[in-house]
Amino acid sequence: MTDEQERAAPGGPTVLHRLVDELGRVRALGLLRLHEAELEMLHACVAGRTPGAETAETAETSAPGVRVEPEAVERLLHTVVLGLDGALLRDAALHSFGFASGTRDLSGKERRQRAAHVYRVGAERFRKHQEKLMLQQVARALLNGEGRDAAAVPGTREGPSEGVGAAPPADAVLPVRAGRHVVRTAFSHGDVLLTVHVAPIELVTGVDVLVSSENIYFEMSKTFRRTVSGSLRRAGATKDSVGRITDDVIARQLAAWMRKFGVPGLPVAAGTVAVTSPGALSAQGVRRILHAAVATPSATGDGYETAPDAVAAAVRRVFQLAAAERRAGRVPLRSIALPLLGAGRGGLDARTSAETVVGTLEQVLGADPDWSVHLVTRNPVSARAVFDVLSDRRP
């Protein structure tokens, strides 16, 4: 966002304030009534223009004959909201605008009450404080150009879009950068927005459940290894002032789970999932670590082998356990981050893991769509495999 967008024109509001006002109208009307609103600033964002910077050239693309469909505004706004940092802010925005399950046809008053409940405050306090901050954050994200690629519809008469979620040209190498990418993915029950993190899983914040890839003995990786299991174990441990581990929290709880539900020293069935606390990762908003036993020691005694069926079973079990805990009301779980289970030291190639995880997600989310799903890998080559799998699903 530029300084000019922050500064007010003589006698007029800033571009930021104008966009916040438009977002407030969208929030009040709801998605079903988007067609009733005059949304000059949001239409500029959809068209890839800088809001408030109309020129003779851009005026041609905003002429009355050039129509911006409400669906394009909705796609853009949904993508930007899902990209907000902070679970509370993101969940409140999803409820406020009507993207959360069961809120699309609610009144503005009802949606505000749902959003206020996310912060556990009254609706009036939410309106005066959190709602204003939320609208400003969404507006700033829009002015920074976030989400614009997702506003285009792949496969229109103008040709496929080159944005997020669209298949790249056959001779192109899909670029992968570190950070968070929101990808529109075609599933049989409808399009779903998945968030792909190209980053170490222990650095992911604001996600309720992180999934760790484990062997079938539920023996976590050493803390010095750059595996998902080792990284989560290290990040979740309690440490003293010089960094020494004083309580190996997650590994200790996983061993306790094994003593209670399994037999220490003997394997569990591939696809079994165990639950522990996040240990020190609770400071990042993580509520649970779910451990997926997918890797079987190789018969040659060197490394591991992972069957795609074990990965699929583990993904299904992860969502079953999370849904059961959510229904019980103990912890309001809404988001889950999955690594490429079995890839790397697990012996499965990244493409096969990604295909299995995404294919299973299609089944899981078809039955229970009320989840925010994140896919995580620190490896740029593996990330490219994830993007290829998601892109290949476009019709």
The pLDDT value recorded for residue 389 is 94
The 10 Å Cβ neighbour count of residue 321 is 17
Positions of the chain with pLDDT under 50: 3-4, 6-11, 55-66, 150-175
In one-letter notation, the amino acid at residue 159 is G
How many of the other CB atoms lie within 10 Å of CB of 49?
Answer: 19
Instruction: Give the SS3 label for residue 336.
Output: strand
273 burial level (CB within 10 Å; 0-12, 13-18, 19+): buried
Strand partners, 305: 296
**pLDDT recorded at residue 59:** 44
- pLDDT at position 57: 44
Under 8 Å between Cβ of 310 and 342: yes
265 dihedral zone (left: phi>0; alpha: psi -120 to 50; beta): left
Q: Give, in order, the Cα–Cα distances in Å from 111 to each of 30, 38, 241, 281.
A: 9, 21, 45, 31
Distance CA 376, CA 211 (A): 10
Q: What is the pLDDT of residue 67?
A: 57
* Separation of alpha carbons 5 and 18, rounded Å: 10
pLDDT of residue 50: 65
Closest alpha carbon to 358 in 377, 333, 380, 381: 377
